[in-house]
Amino acid sequence: MFPGIRWIAAVVLTASLAARAADDPPADVVRFAGLKPDEAVKAMSLPAGFAAHVFAAEPDVRQPIAFCLDDRGRVWVAEGLSYPKRRGNPPVEERPADADLASPSDAQLKDIGGGMDRILVLEDTDGDHRFDKRTVFLENVNLISGLEVGFGGVWIGAAPYLLFVPVTDWNDPKPAGRPRILLDGWDYAADTHETLNTFNWGPDGWLYGCHGVFCPSHVGKPGTPKDRRQRMDCGIWRYHPTRHTFEVFAEGTSNPWGMDFDEHGQAFLEACVIPHFWHMIQGARYERQGGQHFAITLEEKDRCQKHLAREAPRHINPFIYDHIRTHGDHVHWAGAKGPHAANARSDSVGGGHAHAGLMVYLGGSWPETYRNQIFIGNIHGQRFNVDIPVRQGSGYSGKHAPDFLNFNDTWSQSLNQLYDQDGSVLVIDWYDKNQCHHNRDDGHDRSNGRIYKIVYNQQPVTRVDFASLSDEALVQNLASPQEFRVRHSRRVLQERAATGRLGSGVHAALRQQLAKESATRIRLRALWALHVTGGTDEPTLLALLNDRDEYLRAWSIQLLCEGRNPSAAARTGFERLAREDASALVRLYLAAGLQRTPVDQRRAILEPLIARAGDAADHNLPLMYWFALEPVVGADASTGLALLERAQIPILRQFITRRLASEDLLARR
């Protein structure tokens, strides 16, 4: 190269680097790192009137990875000391899948107990916001990532297993028998920070959980053949505690580690790397960080397999031509170069892309302005971001609100947050200098871990055992502004119904709430409680299809489709709603419900939906219609052509044509 050209190239390169540096936001300045627990709460930035307390910290708790609160408000916390690697490999055994609660073999039992994780129960008996009673419930567990309490025991996610450990004496909680393997096949080798996590009881009585993207699981009861297992890698799944059935609720996003429900039963989820804010809709398919969309039922898998090339993975659905994108109007990383480009430079917009833990605040003791706001932990930003869900068309948009809390400590890594029986919020903090996942055993400081408690206006501690309350008191709690009381009361009623202990007057009292109350949230609570206790017969749900409230109409659709085979009367009601109902939310639930309706019974409901040209601009409806419509088109070309003529939504016309063409090509092979 000639000297003059080298000089010009150097000038151009210098100018380019200078321009790029000018585009980069300034480096974040975080005041502290590696604080002692009592120093850490003093360093936190909180709104006026709030105070942070050290509920528990090392050495009493280390590496808290999952937690839940029981009916007495005690904190159950799992210490993730085995992470990031599972200890040993599960035994490979051929066992029949004929038991709902499989008793593990001796080899499996040894494997379950081969790790370093343990579960603690922490209780504040004197009301000073700090635990003073500590019980070790279970030790030597392997790779815990999810935890919840209910139905006579403890539910534990510990890949490759979903476990249930019975408890009989709740005064002195300890295992009352061997762990029972409910499901196996959860991946524990590919990426152990993405497997089943952050369990949550849904308003419909199911246990919900998250799952990450690069962790391919094939889930089933022990002994289920490989080809009859359900694929799960990213999205939300659910498991019914008494019917012992497993489902994928929604598929897509990235590596979620936190989800919650608002007071209308809408599910919200946080994600990493891709945009963080998602309104989770039953049957929806969302943008994925990686990989292909998979069949979310075995029926869908069987239908799609004949269309796949021999070398294609057998779980893929090739007809998900597009997916729903973020419901947020913002991201928490700076610049336009992607989520990783501004690591440690994103303070001004929320702290960065790595999120863990999501809570819809419904606690009742914080100022009313916080109610229904969504609090999302931000690991790289050592803070709580806040999003406000705003109704938009059929769903919600997440609006950026000011951050609620900043730990001001780079070691802080909060993983989840829950409000308690008094409306105060407990936070688990992994607390580690290393903020990134890797598989080195020496990559984490296992000596640390904290649980903080955020209290407003010196809110006192109350101690109520919801499991000991009368049926009447539990029903009355459903009208409480404190959602902890509502959720625990509903679950206790569900448990009593499942064991034949529910009083004879409960259903009448709940029906009166449903009929007489004016507030939507209280009527929904009555409906959900009726449903989980077996009190919603079909006439009740069919009548609700005519209710004045769109949320009641919507939820009646979901509950009528719970068994995946709505009756002829229900389908007639759905067809009328598809033609006449002005609510986009109701149409969203119809689209979800149609995916739980036999394919040959969908057309009459689909035709008026896809003829609604005004739904073309909705964030969710065109694609939700497609997810319900696609198998109908694939089943019969003449029906597909007739639906093509009816469709007034451009993207549906495009997709129907593409699907019909794929059938034609297959027929000529």
Average the pLDDT over 116-121 and give the result: 97
Q: For 165-186, write each residue's pLDDT tens digit.
A: 999 999 999 999 999 999 999 9
* Residue 106 pLDDT class (50, 70, 90 cuts): confident
* Residue 667 pLDDT class (50, 70, 90 cuts): low
Task: Quote the tokens at residue 471.
Answer: 């049926």
Between these two residues, 666 and 434, which has the higher pLDDT value? 434
Buried b (16+ CB within 10 A) or exposed e, 539-576: ebbbebbebebbbbbbbbbbbbbbeeebeeebbebbbe
Q: For 194-224, write each residue's pLDDT tens digit.
A: 999 999 999 999 999 999 999 999 999 999 9
Question: Would you say residue 95 has pLDDT above 60?
Answer: no
Question: Would you say residue 629 has pLDDT above 60?
Answer: yes
Average the pLDDT over 640-654 and give the result: 98
Q: What is the dihedral of CA 376, 377, 379, 380, to 10 degrees?
A: 50
Average the pLDDT over 122-132 and give the result: 98
* Residue 193 pLDDT class (50, 70, 90 cuts): confident
pLDDT value of position 159 = 96
Question: Would you say residue 41 has pLDDT above 90?
Answer: yes
Which residues have C-beta within 8 Å of that of residue 398, sequence separation ≥ 6? 277, 279, 327, 328, 329, 330, 374, 387, 388, 389, 390
pLDDT value of position 103 = 73
Q: What percent of the chain has pLDDT over 90?
A: 87
pLDDT value of position 240 = 98
* Residue 97 pLDDT class (50, 70, 90 cuts): very low
Give the start-to-end residue ranges of the domains of the chain: 37-456, 537-667
Average the pLDDT over 532-541 and give the result: 97
Helix count and strand count (H, E) for the chain: 16, 26
Comparing 9-13, 158-162, 249-253, 412-416, which segment has the lowest mean pLDDT?
Answer: 9-13
Arithmetic mean of pLDDT over the chain: 93
Average the pLDDT over 446-456 and give the result: 97
> Rounded to the nearest 10 degrees, what angle do helices 637-646 and 621-635 cross at?
150
pTM, 2 dp: 0.95
Three-state SS annotation for 1-21: CCHHHHHHHHHHHHHHHHHHH
Average the pLDDT over 234-259 and give the result: 98
Average the pLDDT over 594-618 and give the result: 98
pLDDT value of position 192 = 87
Which residues have C-beta within 8 Å of that of residue 532, sequence separation ≥ 6? 204, 205, 490, 491, 493, 494, 497
Q: For 514-525, write each residue's pLDDT tens digit.
A: 999 999 999 999
Question: Would you say residue 17 has pLDDT above 50?
Answer: no
pLDDT value of position 129 = 98
* Pairwise CA distance, residues 524 & 302, whole Å: 36
Average the pLDDT over 403-415 and give the result: 98
Q: For domain 37-456, is the CATH number 2.120.10.30? A: yes
Q: Running DSSP on this structure, what letter comes out for residue 596?
A: T
What dotted CATH number matches 537-667?
1.25.10
Q: For 332-391, write each residue's pLDDT tens digit.
A: 999 989 999 999 999 999 999 999 999 999 999 999 999 999 999 999 999 999 999 999
For residue 242, with 0-12 CB atoms within 10 Å meaning exposed, 13-18 middle and 19 or more buried, which class applies? Answer: middle
pLDDT value of position 101 = 56
pLDDT value of position 88 = 77
Whether 537-667 and 37-456 are alike in CATH topology: the answer is: no
Peptide bond into 598 cis (omega under 30): no
Average the pLDDT over 572-581 and give the result: 98
What secondary structure does DSSP assign to 315-357, as a single string? TB-TT----B---BS--SS-SSS-TTTTTT--GGGTS-S-EEE
pLDDT value of position 666 = 58
pLDDT value of position 91 = 64
Average the pLDDT over 269-284 and give the result: 97
Task: Quote the tokens at residue 504.
Answer: 């004879």
Q: For 58-68, write each residue's pLDDT tens digit.
A: 999 999 999 99
